[in-house]
Structure 1
Amino acid sequence: MSRDSYVAALDIGTTTLRCQIIDKNGECVGSAFDKVKLHYPEVNSVEIDPNELWESIITIMKNSLIDANISAKQIKSVGISTQRATFITWSRKTGKPFHNFITWKDLRAWDYINKINRSWKTWFLRTGSFLVHLFTRQLKFNIVANLKFTSAHVTLRLLWLLRTNESIQKALTVDDVMFGTVDTWLVNRLTGGSLYVTDISNASATGMFDPFSLCWSIIPKYYNIPVSIMPQVVDNDYDFGNISSDIFGVPIKIGAVMSDQSASMYGSCSFKEDDLKITMGTGVFLNLNTAQCIRGGIHGTYPLVSWRVNNGLTYMTEASGSDCGSLVEWMLATGLISNPKELNIMPNTIRNSSGVYFIPAFSGLSPPISNENAATGFIGIKPDTKKEHMIRAVLESIVFKTVLVYDLLTSQCPSKFSCIKVDGGVSRNNFICQLLADLIQLPVKRLSAEMAALGVAFVAGLSSGFWKNKGEILEIDKTEVVFQPNDDLDHRKELLFELEQWQKATDRFKSWYQ
């Protein structure tokens, strides 16, 4: 057995778990994979059982070591990348959770969120911030003046839970409640309960963190969320301590913790200002590196802390859509396709979707359309419509929505891009990448699908001395293929017409559930 050292990267997504063993060349020498088991105990609920998640995490970590044919002693450091805005609360005394994880896709609190958005308290907050912005012109107050809570924010889903869960209410009276996103809970459990922290990129994505002052914002306190339940916010390369030796037989250093989108940015080496990356996973996430400046922040874009590593702070602006990989899962579940590989063949067997359009709104229509009560469905189906037309329409809808989100992001953060980097499972589809390049008229550089794992491995490796500096990781190029845009004017006109027709189709599906 080789005595070389390695970095382990644990990536906890919404639908998948993966652990990779990474060598100094950035190559994966061993890996293990599992599905995240999602629970739907009632209408609009999407939960994860923490015990099931824990068992899966430990199993895939052990299996990745077996696959790499190495021992735990050879792991120099572990990096952890997690899905964002999924949270849990548990007892400070016993460590037992009060409930399952409430995922970022959970919509049970939607009526409550709408009520708070319309409340006098929120009106007062917006109006006060508007007046302060009028006189100071500070971006911070303009963002709050345009604040509209959504189900993607933790803030009001947590407040709803505190108001409706009797066990939590009783525990709050004796200061026995701890709150955390996936990173907080996992680090706390891996270290045997000795550490109660959240990394700055995950904190930033909760909607309760102030990216200007770099601490928990006034929002939780304003809405009566107890500050005592909030974890300490730390850097991504903070000294997270060691995984308890009870788990793997030896202590293993936790070298980095990051949110999945920040880790993906880091893995794609998007270190320069105006580097743009699109991740096509369960959802679509467009992330723009804004260096040390905060840009955007209204009408569906969000300024976030991308990372704080080695005392260096980097911001990003994000715009996102909720349905992407979930549509592939739906096509598999309904029998529309039997294997994802079919998606690289079927769309190219026909010239177009023959007037069939698909509206992807399982979680509503995200900005810039912004209609949470929209329905999902096909329109334009005719007697001669084939399955291929329907499948192509679904794939086109992913790109059309991505283009609208891209336009939204660039309208607030105008920049000149040389290319767009894409990663994530859905980016493996050539049809999607080429259509995106043709519509945006920029080269689309497809990277390895597992950028989040590689990114957190880079940070963990740098923090532990596995890699000496950024220069070493910049030499690791994970570009797989570059899709060049088709600049034929007639082809572009045809695509823009299809995009316009799709936008008209979305109007028919808006507010269906209102």
Structure 2
Amino acid sequence: MTGRVLAVDQGTSGTKALVLCPERGVIGSGAAPVRPRYRPGGVVEADPAELLSSVVDAGRRALADAGEPVDAVGLANQGETVLAWDPATGTPLTDAVVWQDRRAESVCHGLAEHAESLRARTGLPLDPYFAGPKMAWIRRSLTRAGTVTTSDVWLIHQLTGAFVTDAATAGRTQLLDLDRVEWSPEALEIFGLAGERLPRIVDAAGPVGTTTAFGAEIPLTGLLVDQQAALLAQHVTGPSTAKCTYGTGAFLLAPTGPRPSRGTGGLVSCVAWRLGGRTEYCLDGQVYTAASAVRWLTDLGVVSGAGDLDAVGSAVPDTGGVTFVPALAGLAAPWWRSDVRGSVTGLGLDTTAGHLVRALCEGIAAQVAELADAVTADRGTPLAALRVDGGLTRSALLMQTQADLLQLPVEVSAVPDVTALGVGAVARMGLDPGLPLHRALPPRAPATVYEPRIDAGRAAERRSAFRAAVAALLDGPAPPPAPPPAAPH
């Protein structure tokens, strides 16, 4: 047995796959796009068939690039994306409702009296970001047929026939008892999902079935939600470090050990992973729009794409007084206001594309800095550094802005796609139960470290301006009421 694994990361805007060798590292890679549809009313959907085909295509391309067989496959998933499907045939009954979709706001408003009890039981605030409200919305508005699950359950079923989810992904539903790591009858009752067929909760590492989707029959031995897979790959285990992944959104996670930490800073308490029956927990903070905000600027013609950020932003020395709160899909932690929309203030006749780009980078970085402050408050230990990964870490402007506002070193991963490295590690552990975690993980060495270039006083001024803009949004007029749901069929 060689221990080579195919690690597949199924994400919002695409699927990436790596072939990992214990001795030689990454020996093959592949990718396939996914095209989520963004429509008025907070609608964000994807075609389930495209999710599955992207997994198969990316995996096959990685294997072809490696030119070598593998012994196992691992699959990382989006976490909070859901769909209804027929468990007898595997046929999707709805589109995939993506994690950014806001249509479950009506569900959350109707269950507001249960918000505190749900948070105490599941660790999660009542917000349409999580899978449970979306699942309830599908049942109320789209269909009562089949089963409704997170997207990983459907993908695993299509690949292997198994009906399972890993403990960390189950923790993203708001249907999991955080302390017992079992489905919560009370939460299911609150959401009107008590009669649903639910997947079996499994460890991140271990065989769950076999698949021939990538060619020869191979076992699926690793499952993990994307952000927790990145946390694992970044070797973040101590109380003075955290990781942030800059993808479609930006997600900061910090470990808390074998017990959940229910702090008061507005962060989510959730399962990091369960290995060998032992559960580890983490704090989680979210910025809903990062690369998706860059895509928005691209659609407006301000930049040609994420690769244009540094060139356009470097044309000016600062934001020119522009403040950008990129709450284009609502504000997540620590505010939890899904109704809030983004804002751009301080515009003038002299405002250029460069000012908008710098203001966007500052808006993303300022939100991440708020999350880092909340981690410090909840864990009681200041951060010494932030370890970062994801496609947007290629922007030196964004990373330098992050270091400036944090007043901390920002350590950029040498491999942007660390999610695949993390799920590849648990796939290796699932293949070889005697393999310890530290040996399953590839060595970590940052490609670049950004140090702060401004003093603490200037950083505080810039963050204060951002907080003032957020406060103006939070104090703004209430949004119009959501329309009543259509009758499901």
Between the aligned partners of 2:120 and 2:228, the Cα distance in structure 1 is 21
In structure 2, which of residues 187, 197, 220 is the aligned counterpart of residue 229 of structure 1? 197
Call closer, same or farther: CA 1:509–1:428 in 2, change over 3 Å.
Answer: same
2:426 is matched with 459
* Structure with bigger gyration radius: 1
**Paired amino acid for 1:186:** L
In structure 2, which of residues 311, 320, 339 is the aligned counterpart of residue 354 of structure 1? 320
Between the aligned partners of 2:119 and 2:3, the Cα distance in structure 1 is 49
In structure 2, which of residues 386, 397, 403 is the aligned counterpart of residue 437 of structure 1? 403
Whether 1:368 aligns to 2:366 is no
Query: CA offsets, 1:209-233, max 9 Å, x none?
Result: 1120110122112333134421111
Q: Is the 8 A contact 2:42 2:329 kept in 1?
A: no
1:300 is matched with 266
Between the aligned partners of 1:197 and 1:204, the Cα distance in structure 2 is 13
Query: CA offsets, 1:365-411, max 9 Å, x none?
Result: 22334433323232111122222111111111111111112222322
Between the aligned partners of 2:190 and 2:436, the Cα distance in structure 1 is 42
**Paired amino acid for 2:20:** I
Please give the secondary structure, in 2, of the residue aligned with 1:238.
Answer: strand
1:500 is matched with 464
1:208 is matched with 175
Cα root mean square deviation, aligned? 2.4
Between the aligned partners of 1:68 and 1:332, the Cα distance in structure 2 is 34
1:238 is matched with 206
Call closer, same or farther: CA 1:238–1:286 in 2, change over 3 Å.
Answer: same
Between the aligned partners of 1:233 and 1:248, the Cα distance in structure 2 is 25
Please give the secondary structure, in 1, of the residue aligned with 2:205.
Answer: coil
Between the aligned partners of 1:256 and 1:297, the Cα distance in structure 2 is 30
2:107 is matched with 112
Q: Is the 8 A contact 1:15 1:282 kept in 2?
A: yes
In structure 2, which of residues 17, 21, 26 is the aligned counterpart of residue 19 of structure 1? 17
Query: CA offsets, 1:411-435, max 9 Å, x none?
Result: 2222133321111111222222222
Please give the secondary structure, in 2, of the residue aligned with 1:345.
Answer: helix
Query: CA offsets, 1:315-365, max 9 Å, x none?
Result: 111111211111111122221111423222333332211111112111112
1:57 is matched with 55
In structure 1, which of residues 117, 137, 150 is the aligned counterpart of residue 127 of structure 2? 150
Call closer, same or farther: CA 1:142–1:35 in 2, change over 3 Å.
Answer: closer
Whether 1:382 aligns to 2:359 is no
Whether 1:316 aligns to 2:285 is no
**Paired amino acid for 1:238:** G
**Paired amino acid for 2:140:** R
**Paired amino acid for 1:108:** R
The Cα of 1:58 is off from its aligned counterpart by 1.5
Aligned length: 476
**Paired amino acid for 2:295:** E
1:135 is matched with none
1:270 is matched with 236
Please give the secondary structure, in 2, of the residue aligned with 1:94.
Answer: coil
Query: CA offsets, 1:177-224, max 9 Å, x none?
Result: 323212211111101x2x111110100111111120110122112333
Name structure 1 gaps, 5 residues minimum. Answer: 130-140, 172-176
2:37 is matched with 39
Q: Is the 8 A contact 1:17 1:35 kept in 2?
A: yes
Between the aligned partners of 1:204 and 1:11, the Cα distance in structure 2 is 18
Between the aligned partners of 1:507 and 1:308, the Cα distance in structure 2 is 38
Between the aligned partners of 1:89 and 1:375, the Cα distance in structure 2 is 29
Q: Is the 8 A contact 1:296 1:413 kept in 2?
A: no
Call closer, same or farther: CA 1:148–1:24 in 2, change over 3 Å.
Answer: closer
Query: CA offsets, 1:219-260, max 9 Å, x none?
Result: 1123331344211111111321211x3x34421111100000
In structure 1, which of residues 70, 79, 87 is the aligned counterpart of residue 74 of structure 2? 79
Call closer, same or farther: CA 1:324–1:147 in 2, change over 3 Å.
Answer: closer
Query: CA offsets, 1:106-128, max 9 Å, x none?
Result: 112213321221x5xx27xx4xx
Between the aligned partners of 1:373 and 1:470, the Cα distance in structure 2 is 41
Between the aligned partners of 2:406 and 2:224, the Cα distance in structure 1 is 30
Between the aligned partners of 2:24 and 2:405, the Cα distance in structure 1 is 33
1:136 is matched with none
Q: Is the 8 A contact 2:207 2:430 kept in 1?
A: no
The Cα of 1:471 is off from its aligned counterpart by 4.0
Which has the larger helix fraction? 1
Q: Is the 8 A contact 1:153 1:207 kept in 2?
A: yes
Out of 398-407 and 449-458, give the one that drifted further: 398-407
Please give the secondary structure, in 1, of the residue aligned with 2:387.
Answer: strand
Out of 300-309 and 471-480, give the one that drifted further: 471-480
Q: Is the 8 A contact 2:245 2:251 kept in 1?
A: yes
Please give the secondary structure, in 2, of the residue aligned with 1:382.
Answer: coil
The Cα of 1:34 is off from its aligned counterpart by 1.8
Name structure 2 gaps, 5 residues minimum. Answer: 480-489
| TM-score, normalised relative to structure 2 | 0.91
2:90 is matched with 95
Please give the secondary structure, in 2, of the residue aligned with 1:262.
Answer: helix
Query: CA offsets, 1:444-485, max 9 Å, x none?
Result: 111121110000111111221399433434561242111223
In structure 1, which of residues 412, 416, 423 is the aligned counterpart of residue 382 of structure 2? 416
2:417 is matched with 450
Q: Is the 8 A contact 1:290 1:314 kept in 2?
A: yes
